[in-house]
Structure 1
């Protein structure tokens, strides 16, 4: 960052770029290399940082934008060294403006405003707890017997996607305009499907957070599961993104989300606790071989997930109470964590 004045002196085209934007690029590069060395040290797949050409560099950030960057009528945004740019403000923003990023998605440009808001009051308590069992047949099934539809958005767009991908494969010149246009059509379809999926996740997460104080779900290794035979279907439902959105909304609303161990939740009878593979009569039916209890297999699994979550919360509460009530001996220091 200290060498940026020398860069501007040697390359006059950088004079027209805001100084903080250039500094943010250096911070991004530093973050990429720190992440690379962290993965190397941990023995993970490292992934050396790659150079991003102008066709792959899709955003730039103003770390300290003016609080009046957006005009009063909401029709313009001021970008230093660029000027006023017309925008369509899809919703008013509030709070202190922290960063302003300009992002390109295909042929569309977006101004992303990051704002700092005061802590809101939590939602009123509902005294309701729920467990959810996610899957590919249904998006999720709750312990209350609610079934959320799996919209299978990627599968719905696969026919159109197959047509445009074949058209792209018939364009041999990768640097030609026809190839670029065909590639843009493919990217637009993928982008539309991703946005539809994101919208569904936000809507369903909001419903759960409004209705329940405690939400329990399986702690799934989504990345590992996606490498199996159902990889395409698992990528389509995107459980990882849904759990992340659910946790964020719950924290904002004062709710609690607990991820429990998923092992044997689909084979255990929630009535008598008998666990056996044969209890799962089929994909949809559960029949306990010990007590004879019958129920939808996903609802039974969701009830087991809720029971595990309630036990975990009870243990945490009892541990916190014990720690608060236990007096610390005088003259002794708190032991350092090794």
Structure 2
């Protein structure tokens, strides 16, 4: 059994929209209050608290704030679980030596979802029944598979969505071929396969950048709190949502093709978050003046890396492969995969701008194709000459 999420568009009435917005606002208040309680308790007593202790206070809170009686109890409990999870993740990062990122308060504009973890919702005759809200019209554009476990109501701009997390049985499928394919991820091209095939990078964000720039400039000129500013915010959010949807659709299509075709898919074990870090400042030791550090070029590269969606592409392939059963997605060390010749195994140093691999042994091919062959060879555990012959 595996978990799968189905997302559907909701079409609430004006009154229902107001109720959903009101529910989000109350959940945001509760989240911030629970976070504040944890901070103050640790400051004054040196001890923290947990979900159980805070959940026990919900009946008292409802007596003081009667409006919380109009929200399903499990929705409020899930808000407190969300606070619990943020602190657990914080302490995990501390123990791992990563940048901790202490839990922060949420604004109403950023707190955009609430969850029915077990009960309080049901699907009937093309409508979603939500406790304390009513029957909301829903667009069921595909069949919901398995057993629904949770229902998340999410706001995206002016639109509302229902996300059902379902427990479904795995449906094994045999790939078209039992071959291994190595994949080198890039910026100018989204991916190059060891077979020589190329997945182009549509650069959705870059294509929408001019419109986004104009929309964000218009937003910056609007007076805070005005209706015009709210409309400008919605326009910027709509443009970002369109780019995200375009990218997801493209990555879904190609990840499905790869999983349906190959039995083993080999990626580089890369960390896009590390590759897209800002350039470090350079300072003259004698004068103290800051020197050119290529921040402009690095910023453009970072934007292209994030636009490509490498992590998302790998994640889509991984969960589709898990559902397929016989397909596996693996990762190998990316060290020297771009520099080593796939024909003879010698190191041919190249700058990032050199896109063609040329070796004295006579191997001539695209730099990314050469890297994809090396990635495949690393997984097979062969010498580079054997990998090339196979």
* RMSD over aligned Cα atoms: 1.8
Aligned to 2:328: 256
How far the C-alpha of 1:148 sits from its partner, in A, is: 0.9
Contact preservation (8 Å) 1:65, 1:97: no
CA distance in 1, matches of 2:303, 2:118: 41
Q: Cα distance, 1:119 vs. partner?
A: 2.2
Structure 2 matches for 1:27-46, cutoff 5 A? 27-46=81-100
Structure 2 partner of 1:80: 131
2-side partners of 1:150 and 1:125: how far apart?
Answer: 25
Q: Would the aligned equivalents of 1:131 and 1:217 in 2 still touch at CA under 8 Å?
A: yes
Q: Deviations over 1:142-173 (max 9, x none)?
A: 011101111011110011111111111111x2
- Matched position secondary structure for 2:139: coil
**What is the Cα deviation at residue 195 of structure 1?**
1.0
SS at match of 1:53: coil
How far the C-alpha of 1:282 sits from its partner, in A, is: 6.2
Give the distance between the partners of 2:262 and 2:364, measured in 1 at CA: 26
Q: Name whichever of 30-39 and 95-104 sits farther off.
A: 30-39
Find the partner of 1:205 among 226, 250, 255: 255
2:169 corresponds in structure 1 to: 118
Q: Distance in 1 between matches of 2:118 and 2:148?
A: 8
Aligned residues: 306
Relative contact order higher in (CA < 8 Å, ≥ 6 apart): 2
Separation in structure 2 between the aligned mates of residue 245 and residue 124 of structure 1, nearest angstrom: 16
Q: Is the 8 A contact 1:77 1:84 kept in 2?
A: yes
Matched, 1:65 2:89: no
Alignment gaps of 5+ in structure 2 = 1-54, 279-297, 383-390
- Indicate the residue corresponding to 2:309 in structure 1: 238
Deviation at 1:285, TM superposition (A): 1.3
State yes or no: 1:276 paired with 2:276: no
Residue 220, structure 1, aligned to residue 306, structure 2: no
Q: CA deviation at 1:52?
A: 2.0
Work out the CA distance in 2 between the residues paired with 1:272 and 1:46. 45
How has the CA–CA distance of structure 1 residues 282 and 14 changed in structure 2, closer, same or farther, with 3 Å as cutoff? closer
Measure, in 1, the Cα distance between the counterparts of 2:342 and 2:336. Answer: 11
Report if the CA contact (8 A) 2:185-2:192 is conserved: yes
Gapped runs of 5+ residues in structure 1? 313-338
Which residue of structure 2 aligns with residue 329 of structure 1?
Answer: none
- Answering whether residue 90 of structure 2 is matched by residue 90 of structure 1, we say no
Partner of 2:199: 148
Within 2, Cα distance between the matches of 1:159 and 1:256?
A: 40
Q: Deviations over 1:208-237 (max 9, x none)?
A: 111100111111121111125110110110
Question: Are 1:301 and 2:301 matched, yes or no?
Answer: no
Corresponding residue of 2:150:
99
User: TM-score, normalized by length of structure 1?
Assistant: 0.86
